[in-house]
Amino acid sequence: MLGAIAGDIVGSIYEFDPIDHEDFEPLFGEDATFTDDTILTVAVADALVSGRDPVETFKAWGRGFPNAGWGGMFARWLFSDETAPYGSFGNGAAMRVSPAGWIGRDLDEVLALADRVTVVTHDHPDAVDGARAVAEAVYRFRTRATADAVRDAIGRRYGYDLDRTAAQIRPHYDFDETCRGTVPPALVCALEARSTEDAIRKAVSLGGDADTLAAIAGAVAEARFGLPTDLANEALARIPEPMRDVLRRAYARAGAAMPGGTQDADPDPAT
């Protein structure tokens, strides 16, 4: 969860100013900030922990940040009275779903939770697959699967080509806001990486929708490698306390300690 937020923040300054290398400095640029990817990750966590309706929760969180870089179709839905899904196959389904991979107690529940928070807006089969793939990768890594096992399981189930490397993808990658065009490259970055920071750097270096690529890669890599305290605290310092509170409760529900040095040790009373 916090890995997704770290990736979003790191990638935020490169979405419209792309780079093609991994050794950019500093990791968190001066103007780096959270975007819609972070807000909806927190909203998903809130919906799953509190049992609130996802539509209600998305609208409550989203409307509090009207200038967060919302995609056009989602923005029209968010600021309207509409509550029905709108057939989207965009990558918003995948960038926000990581809490499902942490909170679900087994793979069936993970996939069910992913569907619950996806189809309320992104009800196209490609979006459902993208969200499921990210949530499943998070779940498999946090339950100690190997990279080879995750690559094989996700590739077979969703028909994704995960046998490439970031270096092979980078020269031909263009800005792509679809799930099919975003999820496989982001997963490749997490599968190839040596650390969560490395996964985020690889994702940003692809160019394109850098914050969303890095949010997905960071979410999956966190489940694989963990999130170093310094990286976690950099991300936590850039989000408001109500978001941090939701994350504390979500990690507690998942039976995991929130990364960083400011975690709340009190268990979630709902567990």
The pLDDT confidence band at residue 268, using thresholds 50, 70 and 90, is: very low
Please tell me the predicted confidence (pLDDT) of residue 74: 96
Distance CA 68, CA 76 (A): 14
Strand partners, 178: 90
Q: 106 and 140 in contact (C-beta within 8 Å)?
A: no
Residues 101-153 pLDDT 10s? 999 999 999 999 999 999 999 999 999 999 999 999 999 999 999 999 999 99
| Helices 36-50 and 210-225, packing angle to 10 deg | 50
pLDDT score of 263 more than 50: no
Q: What is the pTM of this model?
A: 0.95
Q: Which domains does the chain have, with CATH numbers?
A: 2-253 (1.10.4080.10)
- Residue 201 to residues 21, 119, 267: CA-CA distances in angstroms? 8, 30, 33
Instruction: Give the angle 237-139-192 at the CA atoms, nearest 5°.
Output: 75
Please tell me the predicted confidence (pLDDT) of residue 269: 30
Give me the amino acid identity at 91.
N
Instruction: Give the residue ranges of DSSP H helices in the chain.
Output: 2-11, 36-50, 54-62, 72-78, 92-95, 98-103, 107-118, 125-142, 147-158, 166-169, 179-192, 196-205, 210-225, 229-236, 241-253
DSSP character string of 29-64? -TT----HHHHHHHHHHHHHHH---HHHHHHHHHTT
